[in-house]
Structure 1
Amino acid sequence: MYAENEIDPEKLAPENFSKASERAQLMHLDPVAVAKYFNTIIQAIINILIGCNKKNNGIFEAVKNYYSVVEYQDHGTPHCHMLIWLHDALDLILLCQKLKNDNEFWHYLLNYISNIVREDINYLCKKGELITNKMVKAECLTPKTILEKQMHFSFLPIPDPRLPDFKKKFCLDLLTICKRTLFHYCTKACKKFNRDLQKHCRFDFPRELVDPPDIIFPEQRVIAIQHISAYFNNHNSYITTACRGNNDIKFISTQKLALACIHYITDYITKLDISTYSSFLICASILETFLDQLSNNDSYNLIDKSLKLITKYLNKMTGQTELTSPQVSAYLLDIDDHYTSNKFVNIYLQTFKSHLMKE
């Protein structure tokens, strides 16, 4: 954005901030910068905040493993889905048994979850002050001046931890980000499909409220975390401040739910951009063309015919997948579309086919 210019963010005047449309245009003109910047941010979160590659623990304490997948939206902006496994985490049966018999562990677990997963922003206010959903919605709907629209959080200086009033400035900075990015108020976009028939928000707002303090029901294997704000995303204070934007965080206590989340975020890599009926039309078209070609050449045996047909179909379906310019740039720069502490061996179609043929 300010290429080849030395800029001091603390001295940069707000009236010199670029507009949102200008930032979007620059993003499309330089997708390589988008891919590099996002990779730098995610690597910093993994290495510094989560602390996966350092001796000292991060914000989640000792982390055993992590797995995340990068998804690119249609207009090219990337975001990340991440799962984190903690060291010495108990399985569900042992967890329920310990919660029944160990009152100290009960309070420790609830305190840990409430500090890591924030579901409200009133903890950032002064004593006696309270922010309601109506107040935040009214603030969001108030028309912004041109200067306010240009003042994006990524340009604003981060509070210096060496200052004596750092905690106060940190809370004020975090409160500003939360009100602008974590609060949801429904618009037409919430009913993207069948607006006349769809009654509920497709983003699952308002969220279900849990009024009493955090409660654990070991017999039912339920941990009811307090939720008093129906229109705020769950968030982590440090990740929100570091990313300067929206994030959502959840405590997962069961293996079944963890596997479901793995399937959900991994499915982004393999999902198709075309509808089911379009896929069937493509299959029919490929099959018809393939049969016409085979009628003039009967030298193929049954296995070769099947392999060739599958290869044609896979190539055609892969060719229908839409890739954004930052995503293509990331692949060309050898930036992974996933992050994990494990190592995997890449399997390519041709190598896999050769192995099956040998078997």
Structure 2
Amino acid sequence: MSSKERNIFIAQNPAAAALFFDEVIQGFIRIILRYDPSSVSAEQNGLFGRCCGYYGMVEAQGRGTLHCHMLVWIEGNPSPQALRDRMHDSPGFADSMFRWLESIIKCELPSTTELVVETEGAMEAPPLPAGTLDPRLHRDPTMSSLAEDDFQTAFRETVEELVILSNWHGHRETCWKHLKNGEPRNDKSCRMRIDGSVNPLTRIDPETESIIMRRLHPRINNFNDLIIFLLRCNMDIKYVGSGEAAKALVYYITDYITKGTLATHVGLAAVEYAIKMNNIKFDPEDSPRYEQAEVNRSLFTKTVMALMSKQEMSHQQVMSYLVGGGDSYTSHSFKVVKWGDYDRHIARQERDLTEVAPALPESESNVDP
């Protein structure tokens, strides 16, 4: 199939796409994370260590395909402050920590061993030679069919091809979608923070005390070589080593639960259109002819319909609820907090306490302190 034919096939088969996505995520949890709270065997250690919890939210991209943002908790990971203290007090521990991070988070091509410095603007990813099959469609090299050294070579070559195709960052409109009118669109304002900078060594920033990863290539987004080899798609990976970063990521990921998919300006335009159409139906000059309740009912109906017509869900999102894994993947169950009911209950309690509290006699309430 050509790329166009594959896109058409996916668009015509959203249930198959949702099922495949669910299979991929379940495989990631089962094989990469190896989450199994009932086992204490060291064999249950996953790629990053022993996973003690995960929380992932599913989102649809603009073109409708699904992707997942997931937080993973690793057993034994110290608190942000304890981690800072140990790294400051023990250079050996800091070196071990840096080596572990560099083993799971890559910021350069497998063949890159020296700093790559841009001299003439942003480097562009090399194009695929004409007639070359998309690397994501290649048959994977396997350990069972190759000698160990040959497999390692094939593994690195495959990862390099996949990273160039999937994780080489080139600025797009989405990089600047939060900028205001007139703000410059350049490396510094890229919200993905791929600004062309490089860093020869993993180190601790003396000002923020955050860990800055080694980055030998200015345009390669963070990836894990094994994950990109298995999933064959673009990815991102980040170690959460500070309280601020943890809060930001928790908010970013869980925000998908509550954030509206309808932009404010689009919603307001829909409301304006509903009012306009209602005024055409019920001419204000002939208002005595109509019952106000009828006018209000019509306006309410038109407003709701106008707003609903602007809400969009991809076919794959809908099918993920029907045949896939839904909109989240979690290791633990959670209680639903009905915040509205809770808030109203507290408000009633405060009001009742205020009403029950005896009022001071006027003579006492006017006494100077």
Q: What TM-score bracket applies, with the shorter chain setting the length?
A: 0.7 to 0.9
Aligned twin of 1:182: 167
- Is 1:20 aligned with 2:10? no
Aligned counterpart in structure 2 of residue 112 of structure 1, from 79, 84, 100: 100
Aligned twin of 1:49: 32
Query: Where does 1:174-323 land on structure 2 (aligned, <5 Å)?
Result: 174-186=159-171, 198-200=184-186, 202-204=190-192, 206-207=194-195, 209-216=197-204, 220-280=208-268, 296=293, 320-323=310-313
Aligned twin of 2:156: 171
Structure 2 length-normalised TM: 0.72
TM-superposed deviation, 1:166: 1.0
Aligned twin of 1:81: 69
Aligned twin of 1:156: 138
- Separation in 1, partners of 2:52, 2:245: 18
TM-superposed deviation, 1:318: 6.3
Q: Write the deviation string for residues 132-182 of structure 1: whole angstroms up to 9, x where unpaired.
A: 77999566247x42x32xx23343111111321111111111111111111
- Separation in 1, partners of 2:90, 2:115: 35
Aligned twin of 2:327: 337
Distance 1:246 1:62, change over 3 A: same
- Separation in 2, partners of 1:259, 1:194: 25
RMSD over aligned Cα atoms:
4.1
Distance 1:139 1:234, change over 3 A: closer
Contact 2:106 2:223 (C-alpha < 8 Å) held by counterparts:
yes
Aligned twin of 1:305: none
Aligned counterpart in structure 2 of residue 325 of structure 1, from 290, 315, 328: 315
Gaps of 5+ in 2: 279-286, 295-299, 349-369
Give secondary structure in 2 for the equivalent of 1:68.
strand
Distance 1:336 1:347, change over 3 A: farther
- Separation in 1, partners of 2:29, 2:202: 29
Contact 1:97 1:218 (C-alpha < 8 Å) held by counterparts:
no
- Separation in 2, partners of 1:355, 1:31: 40
Give secondary structure in 2 for the equivalent of 1:199.
coil
- Separation in 2, partners of 1:283, 1:138: 44
Q: Give the letter aligned to residue 69 of structure 2.
A: H
- Separation in 1, partners of 2:271, 2:258: 18
Contact 2:18 2:317 (C-alpha < 8 Å) held by counterparts:
yes
- Separation in 1, partners of 2:19, 2:259: 24
Contact 2:98 2:202 (C-alpha < 8 Å) held by counterparts:
yes
| Percent of aligned pairs with the same amino acid | 24
Give secondary structure in 1 for the equivalent of 2:77.
coil
Distance 1:262 1:337, change over 3 A: same
TM-superposed deviation, 1:89: 1.5
TM-superposed deviation, 1:19: 0.5
Contact 2:168 2:220 (C-alpha < 8 Å) held by counterparts:
yes
Q: Give the letter aligned to residue 166 of structure 2.
A: T
Q: Give the letter aligned to residue 155 of structure 2.
A: F
Contact 1:65 1:85 (C-alpha < 8 Å) held by counterparts:
yes
Aligned twin of 1:40: 23
- Separation in 2, partners of 1:94, 1:73: 38
Distance 1:131 1:241, change over 3 A: farther
Aligned residues, how many? 319
Deviates more, 1:197-206 or 1:325-334: 197-206
Give secondary structure in 1 for the equivalent of 2:267.
helix
Contact 1:210 1:225 (C-alpha < 8 Å) held by counterparts:
no
Give secondary structure in 1 for the equivalent of 2:221.
coil
Structure 1 length-normalised TM: 0.74
Contact 2:271 2:306 (C-alpha < 8 Å) held by counterparts:
no
Give secondary structure in 2 for the equivalent of 1:140.
coil
- Separation in 2, partners of 1:353, 1:216: 46
Gaps of 5+ in 1: 1-17, 298-309
- Separation in 2, partners of 1:236, 1:132: 22
